Amino acid sequence: MRKFTLLLSLVVFVTVGFAQKAAVNTNKKFVMDFPSVLKGESDITDTLVPASFETGTPTLYTASEGYVCGANGYGDIGKAQHFNSGAETYMVEGVMLWIGAQEITDGNLKFAVYGFDGGPTTALASMEIPFAQVTSTEVGEAGDFWYSVIFDTPVEVSGEFAVGIEFADITDGFGLISTTEGDGGVDAWELWGDGSGWYSFLDGSSWGLDIDQAIFPLVSPKQQVVALPIDFETEVAISSWSSTTAIVDNPFSGGNNTSAKVAQHDKEAGNAWAGCLIQLTEPLDLSVNSIFSMQVYMPAVKTPILFKLESSSGAAPKEVWEKNTVANAWETIKWNFDGATTGVYDKVVLFFNAGVDAAGTYYFDDIELSKGVKVTFNINMAQPILDPNYFVAGTDSVFVTGSFANGAGETWGWDMPNTGESLMMSDENGDGIYTVTVQMPENTTGIKYKYFINGNWDTGDQVGGDRLLELTTTDVTLDDVWVHEVSVSDINLNAVTIAPNPFNGTLVINNAEKAAQIVVSNVLGQQVMTVNKINNRQEISTESLSKGVYLITIIDQYNNMRTERVVKQ
C-alpha cells in the first residue's frame, strides 16, 4: 500500500457551462470555454467529466515523493481516466487536464486515447507536447490551471474507453487535481514503469484510493451520414446553428408533395446566416450529375436560398443562389453546380432567407442530384465585320450570359459578361466559331441569352432582343451567328422579299441567297425560331407560332442585318 498525504486545492471547481446535472458515478457532458488549446476547437461540442467533480472537493494529492496523480518516486509513467459513452458514439478531438503542479521543463508529455478492456489497452490516438509548453497564463490562487491539446485527427470511440497522459524519467514536479477519497469509482488508472501494465487506483498494490482524476476528453458527436437522394422518410442527422431543424409530418401534403415526412427549419432572429448541414456518406461525383433539386415551401416569394457544398478535406466551398417563385405552396428549385470540383464535397449546407436578419419557418424535402442537359453555345465570329476594329480575333474575348447566369439568386438579372456565372467562350481551332458547353436543368423553359465582346454590356450582338432557349431532356447545340448592325448604305439585302404579309401559314423569303441566318423574334425581342441552312427561296413553317406580330431578321455573311415586321392572322 502506498502512503500519501492530502493537500486540498484552494480553488473551487467552476460549474458554469454545465449542460445538465448527472447521476453520481455516471459520465456527464457540459459545454464550456477551454482556457488553453494548441489550435482551434470549432469542432468540439462537449467535455466529458465524471459527476464526482460536481459533488466532491477538488484535491491535489501528494505522495512521500511527488504526486499521486502525476510524477512520483514509485516509478509511475502514466495516468488515465476511464469513461463509458454507452450507446453514443463520440469523436475524441483532444484531452484537457486540470493541473495542480507543474515545474517540469525537460522532456515530453504524451496525451492519448486508449481502448478499454478491464483496463486501458492500445493507444488509439496520441500527441506529444514538450513539458516546457505545458503552461498557462490563467493560473488560480493555488497555482492550478487548465491545459488542453487537440489531436490532428479525431478518434472515434463507442462504449468504454480511456484518456490519459504518459511521461518518463521524472519523479516529482507534475501533478493533476482529482476528487477526494470516496468520490470516485473504478475509473482512475496508472501505468507502472516496470512493464507490468496498468493498475486501478483501487488495486491493493496501488493507492487504494476511490478517486477520479482531472483528465477529460474533448469530444464531438459522430456526424451521422446520409446518401442522396434524401427524402426524410427515415431519420436523417441535421446539424443547425442559430436555428433548429427537425423532421416532421408534412403539414402541407398535396399538390407537388404528398410525402409523409419533410424537414422543418426554424430560423431565429438576430442571425442572417443561420443554417443547417447534412453530412453525406462520401464525396459527390459531379463529373456527370451536377444539378441539385429540392422541394421547398416558403412563406414569401423571392426568398434567397443559398445551397452550399463543403468538404471535410478543406477544399474551398462552392455556393449557388436561387430564389423561389411561389409562396405557401411546394415548389421544386434547382441549383446548377456545373464546373464544380468533383470528388471533394461531402457536406450539403442550406441557408433559407440567406443574408436576411429575420426569423422564419421554412420546409424542404427531396434533395436530389441529376444529370441535366448539356448545352453547347456556338457563335460564328468568322464572317467579316465591316469595321475592322469592332472585333479582333486573338485579342478580344467572347462571352455568353443570360438568365442561366443570374448571380446571387436574382432570377430577373444576368451576371455581367466576364463576371459570376457568365461563360467565356473559346476558339480552339481558329475557325472563328467560339464555343462553350455547360449543363442546365432539364425541361427549363424561357432561358434568355446573348453574346458579348469583352466584359461590357455595350458590346453585345445586335440580334434585336434576347435570344431564347427551351430545354427538354436532350442535349442541345446552338449554332448562332454574330449580328452587327451597320448603316443603311452598307446593307446588302435589299433584294430580299418576305411574303405574304399578313400570313397564316407558310412564310416565303425570296432572293435569300446572301442570307447566312434568319431569326424570327416576337415583339418582346424573344427569339422563337432560327434558320441556318438557307435556300434562295426559303420557306418557313409557322404552325408553332401564335397569332400576333413578329420580327424577321435576315443576316448576311458580313453580319449585316435587315429586319421586317410581319403579322400572323
For 32-57, the pLDDT digits (tens) are 344 433 333 334 457 888 888 877 77
Tell me the percentage of the chain whose pLDDT exceeds 90.
42
pLDDT at 555 over 70: yes
Alpha helix positions (H), 139-188:
none
Q: What is the CATH class of 225-370? A: mainly beta
- What pLDDT does 455 receive? 85
The beta strands (E) that lie in 356-397 are given as: 360-370, 373-380
CA pair distance 38, 519, nearest whole angstrom: 66
| The domains spanning 225-370 and 488-568 adopt the same CATH topology | no
Task: Count CB-CB contacts under 10 A for residue 457.
Answer: 11
- The position carrying cell 491545459 is 147
pLDDT tens-digit map of 112-132: 999 999 999 999 999 999 999
Average pLDDT over residues 168-175: 91
Domain boundaries defined on the chain = 4-221, 225-370, 373-481, 488-568
Q: What is the CATH number of domain 373-481?
A: 2.60.40.10
CA pair distance 198, 184, nearest whole angstrom: 18
- What pLDDT does 25 receive? 30
Instruction: Please state, in angstroms and as integers, the Cα–Cα distance from residue 414 to each residue in 161, 258, 378, 422, 457, following that order.
Output: 57, 34, 19, 8, 11
Alpha helix positions (H), 213-306:
none
Instruction: Please state, in angstroms and as integers, the Cα–Cα distance from residue 265 to each residue in 18, 226, 350, 365, 507, following that order.
Output: 27, 18, 10, 11, 56
User: Which of 85-89, 147-151, 238-242, 289-293 has the lowest average pLDDT?
Assistant: 85-89
- 8 A C-beta contact, residue 502 and residue 566: yes
- What pLDDT does 486 receive? 52
Chain-centre distance of CA 308, in angstroms? 4
Quick one: pLDDT band at residue 15, thresholds 50, 70, 90? very low
pLDDT tens-digit map of 422-458: 899 999 999 999 999 888 888 888 889 999 999 888 8
Choices 2.60.40.1930, 3.90.700.10, 3.40.190.10, 3.90.1300.10: CATH for 488-568: 2.60.40.1930
- 8 A C-beta contact, residue 291 and residue 367: no
Is the model more confident about 88 or about 83?
Answer: 83
**Secondary structure (H, E, C), 521-544:** EECCCCEEEEECCCCCCEEEECCC
CA pair distance 213, 165, nearest whole angstrom: 11
